[in-house]
Amino acid sequence: MTSVTSKPAWREPMVWLVVGGPAAVVVASFFTLALALKHPDPPLDLHATAARSADDVEPADMRAKEGDVPALIARNHAATGTAGVKR
């Protein structure tokens, strides 16, 4: 007969993985909360101006400089054979 001696729980490496991982996450979450409370982001002003954006006037794929071919026009031309046709 052999006698099995058990070690204390804190000497088992699996205990450190099971307890240490979640404990590290809890500590990190409190650190993140402290940072968020100390340095809050300013709120966005979504209604700053009544001016329309450039995308409301003309789509981005049609606002190219002369000689430039925007990716959307080039892709549509490659797929359909018609360059820059609005439908």
22 pLDDT tier (thresholds 50, 70, 90): very high
Q: Output the pLDDT for position 26.
A: 97
SS3 per-residue string spanning the chain: CCCCCCCCHHHCHHHHHHHHHHHHHHHHHHHHHHHHHHCCCCCCCCCCCCCCCHHHHCCHHHCCCCCCCCHHHHHHHHHHCCCCCCC
The whole model's pTM is what?
A: 0.44
- Per-residue pLDDT, averaged over 31-39, amounts to 96
Please compute, for residue 39, the number of CA atoms within 13 A of its CA located in the half-sphere on the CB side: 3
* Confidence check: pLDDT of 69 > 70: no
27 pLDDT tier (thresholds 50, 70, 90): very high
Q: Decide if 15 contacts 9 (C-beta within 8 A).
A: yes
Q: Output the pLDDT for position 85.
A: 54
Amino acid at 60: A
* Confidence check: pLDDT of 48 > 90: no
